[in-house]
């Protein structure tokens, strides 16, 4: 069974600075997808970034980028130029390519951006 | 497009009562999912429906039943609510995209309290 571990329950960062959230996962599959979802206080789950395991190039979406290390089974999220609106719970998730394409989530990291 | 909608947004039940959480999506997705979110545990899959007419158990199915009413709608039923089912429930949908897997789109969630 796949597992996802987020080892940082809470983090804080000053506005305009850079922060990195950690995520490791365990799987025996070779093809899969990885995601970072953001959950602000509104509770809505918002996709931040996705990475296909077969792609060596790290995904980037504006201020958000990932460091995908397939051999180490590591998938960290870097947020540059942090903004107050980035304050949220961040979930790392693994999607299996097996029947149903199910998501397995980590426990989440609460990120607080301070002014 | 409304995306994924859920009703109700909040519900309080007494132990032993039953209720059905409703979910609908207007994106013509084949796959739909029910998750529960508990503090410190991320989101866990309760049941999923890979396509219309099929349903399968996820990680935490005990105490729940589901119905895939049609392609758009996927309901979650609690037959005899227990305090351990106090949680936030999310419905999601997804589909294949360009030969690959698409993200899962989430509804706004239902906060359920069982007294």
Q: What is the pLDDT of residues A82-112, one digit of tens each?
A: 999 999 999 999 998 787 888 999 999 999 9
Reported confidence tier of residue B78, pLDDT bands at 50, 70, 90: very high
Q: Where exactly are the structural domains of chain A?
A: 3-114
Chain A residues within 8 A of B58 when measuring between CB atoms: 102
What is the distance in angstroms between the Cα of B30 and the nearest Cα belonging to chain A?
10
Cross-chain Cβ contact A52/B100 below 8 Å: yes
CATH domain A3-114 topology: Immunoglobulin-like (2.60.40)
Proportion of chain B above pLDDT 70, given as a percent: 95
Tens of pLDDT along B48-67? 999 899 999 999 999 999 99
Tens of pLDDT along A1-23? 789 999 999 999 999 999 999 99
Instruction: Name the closest residue on chain A to residue B31, using Cα atoms.
Output: A100
A107 part of contact set with chain B, CB < 8 Å: yes
- Taking CB atoms within 8 Å and a gap of at least 24, the contacts of B12-16 are B12/B112, B12/B113, B12/B114, B12/B115, B13/B78, B13/B81, B13/B112, B13/B113, B13/B114, B13/B115, B14/B81, B14/B114, B14/B115, B15/B81, B15/B82, B15/B83, B15/B114, B15/B115, B16/B80, B16/B81
């Amino acid at each position: 069974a796949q597992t996802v571990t987020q080892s940082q329950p809470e983090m804080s960062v000053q506005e305009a600075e850079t922060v990195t959230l950690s995520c490791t996962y365990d799987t025996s599959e070779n093809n899969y997808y990885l995601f970072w979802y953001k959950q602000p206080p509104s509770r809505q789950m918002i996709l931040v970034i996705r990475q296909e395991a077969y792609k060596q190039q790290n995904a980037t979406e504006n201020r958000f980028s990932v460091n995908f290390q397939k051999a180490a089974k590591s998938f960290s999220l870097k947020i540059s130029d942090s903004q107050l609106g980035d304050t949220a719970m961040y979930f790392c998730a693994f999607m299996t390519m097996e029947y149903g394409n199910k998501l397995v989530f980590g426990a989440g990291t609460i990120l607080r951006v301070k002014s | 497009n409304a995306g994924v909608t859920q009703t109700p947004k909040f519900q309080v039940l007494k132990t032993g009562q039953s209720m059905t959480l409703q979910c609908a999506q207007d994106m013509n997705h084949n796959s739909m999912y029910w998750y529960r979110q508990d503090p410190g545990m991320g989101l866990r899959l309760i049941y999923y429906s890979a396509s219309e007419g099929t349903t399968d158990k996820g990680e935490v199915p005990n105490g729940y039943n589901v119905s895939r009413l049609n392609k758009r709608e996927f309901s979650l039923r609690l037959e005899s609510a227990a305090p351990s089912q106090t949680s936030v429930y999310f419905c999601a949908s997804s589909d294949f995209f360009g030969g690959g897997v698409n993200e899962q789109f989430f509804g706004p969630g239902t906060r359920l309290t069982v007294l």
